[in-house]
Chain A
Amino acid sequence: MATEDARYRQSSQFRLWSFSPSQLGAMREKANLLARASISERLLSAPRSNSASAPTSNANTPDADGTSTLPEFLTPSEEALLVTFYTSELLRAGDHAEMADEIKATAAAFFRRFYITNSIMTYPPQEMLIVALFFGCKAEGSFPRITDFVKNFGRESPEEVLAGEFLLCQGIRFAFDVKHPFRALRGAVMDLRRIGDIEHTRIDSAERRAREILRFSPLITDAYFHYTPSQIMLAALSLADRGLAERLIQETFHFVHPQPNSGAGTPMATDTPSASSLPDSDIATIIGPVIRDKVLGTVEACRDMLSKEPPERREHWSSKVTYKAQLQPIRKKLNKCRDPDRWNLVELQRSRREQVLNKSGGGSDDGGSAAGPAGPSKDDDVFGGDIKRRKVAKGAMDDPFGGAL
C-alpha cells in the first residue's frame, strides 16, 4: 500500500468499473444481446390479455392469431447514443435543481455504469436518470427528503424514484464511491502557482476552463471508465491550456539526483511521502522520461476523447433540432421494443414484492417469526437458511433456478 497507485487499484472505481475500450464495447454488446433475447422471450410468452404490466403500446404484441412478429431492436450504437443523450439530460436536470458538481458527476457516473450491464431497452432512462440524481445526493452525503426531491422535477409522486433506487444500487454493484478529478485540479493549480514563473491570471483562466470541461466532457463520454481522475484532470487542463499541462507534467517527471547536503530533488517531488520514502533509483524510474512519455501519451488520448464533447455541446444535446433528427427516430423504435415486464418500475417492484410474499407464505425462520404469526413482512428472509421451504414450495415462479443447491 505504499503508493497512491496501489491505493487506487483497491478502489471500487478501479476494481469494478475500469475497462479498456474493447472490454466496454463487449459488455455493452452483451447487454444488448441479452436484452433482445429476454425481451423477445417475454413478448412471445406473454399473452397480451393478461400481461398487466405490459406497456400500452400495442406495436410489440403478437398478432391476434398468435403468430408473433418481434419488433426491431436497438443496436448497441443506438443504445450508446441514447445513453449519451440522457446523460446530458441528467446534467441539465442537476443544474436545474442546483446540485453540487460532485453530486451531478457522481450521478452521471452511476447512470452510465448502470447502462453497461443493463440495456436501455430494459429500464426507462428518463426515470433512471432521476433515480441516479437522487442516489447521487445520498452517495455524496446529503440525504434529501424524497418528497422535496421529486418536486424539483415537477413530480408529485416519489414512487418511481424509490422503486428504481434499489435497482440502481444493484446495477452499480453497490459501489457508491466515485472518484472525481475536481480535487486533482485544485492540486494542479497549487503546483502551478508554486512553480513561480507563470502568470496567475493565466493559471486562473485555465482553471476556470478546465473546471468547465470537467463538469461536462468526462461525464458524458467514457472517460471515467478508461482513465484515472488525475489523467482526466490533466487532459482537461491540456484542453484549456496545453502549455500549462505539459509544463506540469515536465516539472513532475523530472528527476534530479539529490545533492548530498541539500536533500532536495525537484521542489515538488520532495513533497510526496510515497516518493520520498523510496530509494533514489525507484524515484528515478517513477519520474523518469519513460514514464513521463507514457503519461503524456495517456493524457493525449484522454484529451482526444474529451475534445469530442466540449462544454459547448450542451446546446447541441438540448436542441430540438438534434432531438428530431437523431434521437426521435430511435426513441420511437425504443417505444416498440422496450421490455414489457420491467419498463414500469413501480409495477416491477410491486410484482417482485408480491412474489416474495407468496413465496414466504409458510413463515420465515427469522425476522418474520419475531413479528408473530401475523404473516410475513418485507423483512422476511428469502434466501439461505430456508432451503427446506424452497423444496416444499414447488413451482415457485419467482425462483427459476429452484432452491439453493
Chain B
Amino acid sequence: MAVSPLIVHPTEGTLLPSRPLSSPLKRQQQATHSAVASSNGTPALARPPGQDLQAGLGMSLDLVEQMNEDEKRKYVKGRKLGEGTYANVYLGHARHDPAVRVAIKKIKVQKEFRDGLAPDAVRELKHLQELHHPNIINLLSVFSSKDQNLNLVLEYLPLGDLEELIRDVDHVRYGAADIKAWMGMLTRAVWFCHDNCVLHRDIKPNNLLIAADGEVKLADFGLARSFADPGRKMTANVITRWYRPPELLFGARHYSGAVDVWSVGLVFAELVIRAPFLPGNSEVEQIALICRQIGTPTDDNWPGVTQLKEYTVPSDVTPVWDKSAYMGRFGAVGAEGVDLLMRTLALDPRKRITAREMLEHRWWRTEPRPTRKEELPRKQDGGEDKMGSDLKRRNGVVEDENNNNARGAKVARKLDFGATK
C-alpha cells in the first residue's frame, strides 16, 4: 500500500519535542519496552575512563559496547532448552525479578555461511524489532556476546505449540469454539504482519507457540520479508511444503499476502481434521494433492495460471470441490466456518480472501463463541523443552532472493508426474 500524505496525523508535528530523552543510555532503557526495568544500567560516562584498562590491551568499552553490556546484564541465562544448528535456546529470567522468565535464543556463528550474519538472523531481527502485537512473539531485547553471537531475548512461551495439541489425539480434546479462538489469534497476527507490509512466509502449526495464558503467538520470522515493490522479483522457494500455496509451487516470482493466507487455511483444516490436510512428500506430490483435494488449477478457475513458469498439473483434471464436499470433512466448524476455509483455499491468489477480510467474516460472530484463551485446552507438560526445539530449528526452506539453485530440481519434476499416482 502506498504511504500517502494522508497518513500525516496530528502528533507528527509535535513528534520530536514531546520526548524528554536526553542520552542514548536513557533512550535505550526506555526503548527496551520490556517488563524489565533498567534498574542496573550503569551509565557509561560515570565510569572513569581507563580505570578498567589493562595496559597493553586497552580494550575498554565505548558507548555502544557499554549499552550492550547493560542490556546483557538485565538477564540471567539459565539452563539450555534446546540445541540446534542455527541457534541454541536457553531459559532465562530478568535479573531484577526472577519471576519474569524469558527465552534467550542465541544465534550461532554459522560456519557454512561465509558471508557474515546469516539471512535468517537478519530477517528475524529486522521484523521482530518492528512488529509488536499480542499474537506475535515479543522481542524484548537483543545483545551480543563477546564472541559476536547474537542473543535474542524473547518472551517465554511455556505451553508448547499448536502442532503438539493437534497431534496429541489421546490426551487433548478440543472443539469448534477452541478452533475459533486459535484461528482468531492466528488471523490477527497475520493481519498485523500484512498491515505492516510484512510477509511471514513460514506459517505452520509448530510456528504457533502458546503463552502461559493460552495466547497464541506467531514465531519464527527467519523467512519473512517486506512487501516488494511492483516488478521486483522474489523467491518462490519459501513456506514449508505442506503449507505452500499453488502459486509458489508454480514458481511465481511476485506474490502477496495471499501466500500466508493459504497457509492459514491449511492450519485451519489441520485443526479440524487433526492431521495435515495436504502432506506431500515432494513438490510434485504436493501439487498432485492440491489438485485432488481442492481442485486442479486451470485457466478457467485461475486466469493466467498456465503462464506461470513451473505450471504442471496431473492430466486428469479435478473440478474445484464444492461446499457440500467440504462440509463432509470440515463440517465440525459449521457452514460459516467452512465458507471461511474455502475462501482461504481459493486457488487463484487474487480471489483468495485477505487477512483483513478474514477478520470481517461472519464465522466469528456465529455460535459458538470462541473460547476464552485462559480456558483453552493445553498440554500439561513438556512445554519448556518444546519452546527450545521450536526456536532452535532452522526454517523449513532457506534460500535467498537471488539464488536459483532449486530451479533445476523443479524442472526435473515436470517429467515425473506419472510416478505420483
A-side residues, CB < 8 A to B, are 1, 3-5, 7-12, 14-16, 18-20, 23, 26-27, 30-31, 34-35, 37-38, 41-42, 45-47, 50-51, 116-118, 122, 134-135, 138-139, 141-146, 161-162, 165-166, 169-171, 173-177, 183-184, 186-188, 190-191, 226, 228-231, 233-234, 248-249, 252-253, 268-269, 271-272, 274-275, 285-286, 291, 294-295, 297-298, 340-341, 349, 351-353, 355-356, 359, 366-367, 370, 378-385, 395, 397-398, 400-401, 404
Given A141-B401, A395-B54, list of 17 further CB < 8 A pairs? A15-B33, A20-B19, A38-B60, A138-B119, A146-B115, A165-B117, A177-B130, A184-B7, A352-B146, A352-B148, A355-B57, A356-B146, A381-B145, A383-B146, A385-B77, A400-B54, A400-B60
Which residue from A9, A23, A117, A144 sits with its C-beta under 8 Å from B63? A117
Which residue from B16, B106, B129 sits with its C-beta under 8 Å from A20? B16
- Write out the residue numbers on chain A whose beta carbons fall within 8 Å of the beta carbon of B62: 34-35, 38, 118, 122
**C-alpha gap A341/B56 in the complex (Å):** 10
Contact A291 B16 (CB under 8 A): no
- Smallest CB-CB separation from B192: which chain A residue? A1
Which residue from A47, A166, A177, A298 sits with its C-beta under 8 Å from B148? A166
Flag whether B409 is at the interface (Cβ < 8 A): no
- Write out the residue numbers on chain B whose beta carbons fall within 8 Å of the beta carbon of A183: 2-3, 229
- Smallest CB-CB separation from B400: which chain A residue? A143
- Write out the residue numbers on chain A whose beta carbons fall within 8 Å of the beta carbon of B225: 141
Contact B31 A15 (CB under 8 A): yes
**C-alpha gap A232/B109 in the complex (Å):** 38
- Given A228-B12, A230-B8, A397-B57: A23 in contact with B21 (beta carbons within 8 A): yes
**C-alpha gap A165/B338 in the complex (Å):** 50
Q: What's the dominant secondary structure at chain A's contact region?
A: helix
Which residue from A7, A18, A170, A367 sits with its C-beta under 8 Å from B15? A18
- Given A11-B130, A15-B31, A228-B15: A118 in contact with B64 (beta carbons within 8 A): yes
**C-alpha gap A5/B13 in the complex (Å):** 11
- Write out the residue numbers on chain B whose beta carbons fall within 8 Å of the beta carbon of A118: 62-64
- Given A176-B122, A230-B8, A378-B147: A190 in contact with B15 (beta carbons within 8 A): no
Min CB gap A362→B, angstroms: 15
Flag whether B244 is at the interface (Cβ < 8 A): no
Min CB gap B48→A, angstroms: 9
- Write out the residue numbers on chain A whose beta carbons fall within 8 Å of the beta carbon of B4: 184, 187-188, 190-191, 230, 268
Flag whether B142 is at the interface (Cβ < 8 A): yes
- Smallest CB-CB separation from B83: which chain A residue? A370
Min CB gap B360→A, angstroms: 12
- Write out the residue numbers on chain B whose beta carbons fall within 8 Å of the beta carbon of A142: 400-402
Contact B50 A41 (CB under 8 A): yes
- Write out the residue numbers on chain A whose beta carbons fall within 8 Å of the beta carbon of B2: 183-184, 186-187, 190
Most buried by B among A47, A184, A381: A381
Min CB gap B79→A, angstroms: 8
Contact flags B50-87 to A (C-beta < 8 A → 1, else 0): 11111111111111110111001101111010010000
Min CB gap B220→A, angstroms: 17
- Write out the residue numbers on chain B whose beta carbons fall within 8 Å of the beta carbon of A298: 12-13
**C-alpha gap A375/B15 in the complex (Å):** 52
Most buried by B among A7, A20, A143, A370: A143
Interface range on chain B: under 10, 10 to 19, 20 to 34, or 35 or more?
35 or more
Contact B5 A234 (CB under 8 A): yes
Which residue from A3, A46, A177, A378 sits with its C-beta under 8 Å from B127? A177
- A sample of 14 inter-chain contacts (CB < 8 A) reads A11-B130, A19-B21, A23-B21, A117-B24, A138-B119, A141-B226, A143-B122, A144-B115, A176-B125, A183-B2, A231-B12, A381-B149, A384-B76, A397-B57
Contact B24 A143 (CB under 8 A): no
Contact A42 B69 (CB under 8 A): no
Closest 10 CB pairs of A and B: A400-B52, A384-B77, A187-B2, A294-B13, A187-B4, A41-B50, A176-B126, A143-B400, A5-B9, A174-B142
**C-alpha gap A46/B13 in the complex (Å):** 50
- Given A19-B16, A188-B5: A351 in contact with B57 (beta carbons within 8 A): yes
**C-alpha gap A243/B51 in the complex (Å):** 60
